[in-house]
Each structure stands twice: as C-alpha cells, then as structure tokens.
Structure 1
Amino acid sequence: MTSRSFAPLFTSSSLRTYTTMKPSSPEPTYTTSDLSEDDYHTASDASMERMVEYFEDLGDEYEIPGYDVEYQVSSCKKSGVMTLKLGDKGTYVVNKQPPNKQLWLSSPTSGPKRYDFDAQHKIWFYGRDHHSLKYLLDTEITEAIGIEIDVPLDAAK
C-alpha cells in the first residue's frame, strides 16, 4: 500500500482538522492494455478468485455482523459476480464485463466504477482517478469494518 501524507484543508475553532490525502510519491501512470479475450479472462478470473478467497478467509477469521461473500459464475464460465455484504455498512459488487474487458464495481461508499487492466503493472485501475481497485477496496472496507485489510490484487501477489 502506498504511504500517504495528509495536508490540512482548514482547521475550525473546535480543534477539528479536515484533511485530504496527498500521495507522498507520484502515482504511477496506468495504461489500458489491449488484451486478447483469453488474456482478459486469465487476468480477471485470477483477480476474482483471489478476492473471493481473501474475503471468505476474512469472514472466517473475524466476526463481522451481516458479513457474507458470494461468487456466481455464468454457465459459460465467461462472466462472474462477487457480492460482498457488510451488514449495515452496505454491499460491494464486483463483476466481470467481458465485452469491455473490464471489472465493474458497485460501492456503497463511492458508487459505480469501471476498472481497466494494465498488463505492465498487472493492476486494475479506474481511468478517472487512476486509483487501483485494490486501493479502493482496502481503503473503503477497512474504514467500514474497522479492520485493516490487504486485498491481494497487486502485481506482487
């Protein structure tokens, strides 16, 4: 996980400080790779399987109220949907989108996003802010459940 520094936006008289995250080092520039259909399925299937396994293990390790993870694969094995329920914290849905060669995310915190794959960095990234799917899941779910998580979606894992 990239280390981040925080810069105050403003401070109120009640001693509350509001911050925004600023990278301590420049973020890498990601580029959408022109994947073959087979390469897309290899990358997306591996990512989906790692996420599902990680979140199943997390649910086994911690008692999280309302927690459930499901993974459904189509009969043709070309598309799949992972649903991660966090009780009253909301539901995350990640699904394969083979026609676009993307992973789509629905987040109860940040809304919908479409992630492209950068084969050089081996990472799924959102083109508008260039944050990775891993970064978003780690950040939002850690905040939601109060347990620091490290979803194995980076190139090193």
Structure 2
Amino acid sequence: MKSLSRAGQVALRRAVRTPLRSQTSANGVIARAPVAVVRTSGTSHAARSFHSSMTFKGIMPESENPAPPQSEDSEKPTVPTDITTSEFHERADEYLEELLGELEAKQEESPDYDVEYSAGVMHVKILSRGHEYVLNKQPPNKQIWWSSPVSGPKRFDWVVLGEGLHQKEGGGAGDWIYLRDGTSLTDLVRQELGVALGKDDSAPI
C-alpha cells in the first residue's frame, strides 16, 4: 500500500484525536457520527462506521425440529366393544337396575334422595344440593346417556376393558365408557351420586 502524503498524515492524526465528528443540521441539532480507526500495515486510517437497517431472521431452534404431537394414552379405549342390540339391552338393564337398587337403599336411609325409573329412563334428585341427574338407554346408538349438573352430558358405550392383542378375545372387565376422555360411568356414579357399583367382569355373550 502506498504511503500517505504529509498532508494526508496530518489529517489522519487530527481524525484520530477527535473520535466523534460533529455536524450541525439545518435545524440546529448537532449530530455525532462515530469514527472507527483502522490500522493497515502500521498506518492508521479513520473510517466512519456504517449501520445497516436490514436485519436477517434466522431459523429458531424450535422450528428446526418441532416436537411431535403427543399421542394419546394407548391404554385408553377408543372404540366400543361390538355387541348386538339384545346384548346391549341386557347389559344396560342390568346396570340400571343395580343402580336403582343402590339408590333406593340410599333413599330409605335419607330423604335427601328422590329416584324414579321407568321405560329405561332414570331421574335422580339430590334435594339438599338441588341437583337432578338423568340416565337413559339409547338403543339405536347402544349407549347410556348421562346428564349431570356437575360433569355435564356424556354418552357411554359398553367397553370390555383390558381386551387387547396379548389377551384372549372377550377377556377383561366390562364397563360403560365415555370414549372422548375415557371416563367411566361407574366412577361418575360413585363420585356424584355416592353409590359404589361393581364392574362387570364377564365378557359380552
């Protein structure tokens, strides 16, 4: 690189002594621009720093390898056990009649319970809470429908729990299950009506 002339060297030394160069705009506002010193082959050169308004957005770590969606619990039933209409009536009637017996026993112990059951429809009132529940058979869907002021409406299918590839067909215990979240009707009856029912340990006929 060629050496600077004497006049250039003088100007360079002045620039180094004055790191900020001031300029006065038309409206009288003083603006200062930073001056950087660049050394090349033992010679210092003043260079004004530049700022780019363009920014570059890189790939965020979470977008490189997005986490796979979490799969639902494989143990949760997702389909009802295949039963005939006559099997449905047998299972549903047996369940509702057992529930009726337990609720009538509760009714005898406490006037807080009011129970009515007719033509596959059961009304249960818990007077002290002001709660009324309805359970009814739905033969076209092979379901028992549940209406609760606490847990809301749900539709339960007959499912043989534990029936899988490594078990013989028909193995496991049967229960009425809400397939959207795996809720057991037997568990809801115990929690909200205060009645404990045994789960059917026999497979569909």
| Aligned CA-pair RMSD | 2.1
CA distance in 2, matches of 1:81, 1:28: 31
Report the Cα distance in structure 1 between the residues aligned to 2:75 and 2:106, rounded to whole angstroms: 29
1:132 is matched with which residue?
184
Structure 1 runs of 4+ aligned residues shifted over 4 Å read none
Shift of 1:29: 3.0
Shift of 1:156: 4.5
1:151 Cα deviation from its structure 2 partner:
2.7
Give the aligned residue type for 2:76: T
Counterpart of 2:142 in structure 1 is 101
SS where residue 122 of structure 2 aligns?
strand
Gaps of 5+ in 1: 1-25, 74-79, 143-148
Count residues with an aligned counterpart: 117
SS at match of 1:103: strand
The amino acid that maps onto 2:188 is L
Structure (1 or 2) with the larger CA radius of gyration:
2
For the 8 Å contact 1:33–1:117, the answer to whether it is kept is yes
- Taking CA–CA contacts closer than 8 Å with sequence separation of 6 or more, which of the two structures ends up with the larger relative contact order? 1
Which runs of structure 2 are paired with 1:68-83 in the superposition (5 Å)?
68-73=114-119, 80-83=120-123
TM-score (norm 2): 0.52
Equivalent pair of 1:64/1:86 in contact (CA under 8 Å): no
Residue 22 of structure 1 corresponds to which residue in structure 2?
Answer: none
TM-score, L = length of structure 1: 0.67
Q: Distance in 2 between matches of 1:133 and 1:100?
A: 16
* Counterpart for residue 110 of structure 2: 63
Structure 2 unaligned spans of 5+: 1-72, 161-169
State percent identity of aligned pairs: 36
SS at match of 2:153: strand
Report if aligned partners of 1:82, 1:93 keep a CA contact under 8 Å in 2. Answer: yes
